[in-house]
Homo-oligomer: A and B are copies of this chain.
């Protein structure tokens, strides 16, 4: 059972495609946490307790822990330990968008899959396959490769025309046809453009797609679900970060997203 199977099993068990994004920016935490000696860890514990029953995955955004230095790293490790102990069947994603030459990528893989113990990591394709191979070689972990991102300027490079295709289409094709030999690849596909997600689904028929951009980034649930589900009615991880974790009632926000997604799946 690799990390993708783990996600599928959890998604089925709790009937949810929701990923809760722990973008636990210290500056945005409610005041009551900021007085805690481990504010990010205390906040994450509460969010995990409140939302786990609605979540098939949790995604940790590395930047917000690195911004707090060694102490942030310690709180990240504590948060992932807490999640793993209480909910070992929930997929854990390290949103790090890494890629480097081989011995360096091997060190990142050691940090993320080994030391921190994540199930999955987000990766950047610009350096090519061999830069990702040290991650891909971890057959039981999942490699979630950036294909089409949700930021306004994503077209600068991703939409350049390569022959009669866009670069993001070429990346989708390479990942699906060439880089996924261990069956442990997924792709990041923005929820902001369902028409493009449908094209990527046509290229990567069975793969699982991680869709950020719901909520704070403006994606609409129904269009994303219709465009992104595979023929088995799954293969989609829908992430929401700030719209859940900074909601007045995070549990209600997570339940609402789960229900909105499921309403489009039936």
Question: Which residues of A come within 8 Å of B, CB atoms?
Answer: 23, 25, 61, 63-64, 66-71, 73-74, 77, 95, 97-105, 107-108, 110-111, 114-116, 124-131, 133, 146, 149-158, 160-163, 167, 170-171, 174, 217
**Known contacts A126-B126, A160-B162; is-contact A101 B149 (Cβ 8 Å):** yes
Q: Besides A126-B158, A128-B157, 13 other CB < 8 A contacts?
A: A25-B107, A66-B107, A67-B111, A69-B74, A70-B74, A97-B98, A101-B150, A101-B151, A101-B217, A124-B124, A128-B155, A157-B174, A167-B167
Nearest-Cβ distance from residue A18 to partner chain B, whole angstroms: 20
| Chain B residues whose CB sits within 8 angstroms of the CB of A157 once the complex forms | 125-128, 167, 170-171, 174
Q: Which residue of B lies closest to A26 (CB)?
A: B107
| B151 and A130 contact, CB distance less than 8 A | yes
Output the nearest chain B residue to A190 by Cβ-Cβ distance.
B101
Between-chain CB contacts (< 8 Å), 13 pairs: A25-B103, A63-B100, A67-B110, A67-B114, A70-B70, A70-B74, A95-B100, A101-B217, A127-B149, A129-B156, A131-B154, A156-B174, A160-B162
Q: Which chain B residue shows the least CB distance to A63?
A: B107
Is the pair B111, A63 in contact by a Cβ cutoff of 8 Å? yes
In the bound complex, CA of A197 to CA of B155 (Å): 26
Instruction: Find the B residue at minimum CB distance from A179.
Output: B156
Tell me the complex Cα distance, A128–B23, Å.
21
**Main SS of the interface on chain A?**
helix
Q: How many copies does the complex hold?
A: 2
Query: Is A70 in contact with B67, judged by CB distance below 8 angstroms?
Result: no
Determine whether the beta carbon of A131 is less than 8 Å from that of B153. yes
Contact B146 A127 (CB under 8 A): yes
Contact assessment for A64 and B158 in the assembled complex, using a CB-CB cutoff below 8 Å: no
The CA of A110 and the CA of B26, in the complex, are separated in Å by 12
Closest 9 pairs (CB-CB, A-B): A128-B156, A130-B153, A128-B153, A63-B107, A70-B73, A66-B111, A70-B74, A126-B126, A67-B107
Cα–Cα, bound, A174→B115 (Å): 38
Q: B163, A161: Cβ atoms under 8 Å?
A: yes
Chain B residue nearest in CB terms to A212: B101
With a cutoff of 8 Å between Cβ atoms, the chain B residues found around residue A101 in the complex are 149-151, 217
Contact partners of A108 in chain B: CB under 8 A: 63, 66-67
- Are B116 and A69 interface neighbours, CB within 8 A? yes
Which of A23, A25, A104, A131: most chain B Cβ within 10 A? Answer: A104
**Which chain B residues lie closer than 8 Å to A126 at the CB level?**
124-126, 146, 149, 157-158
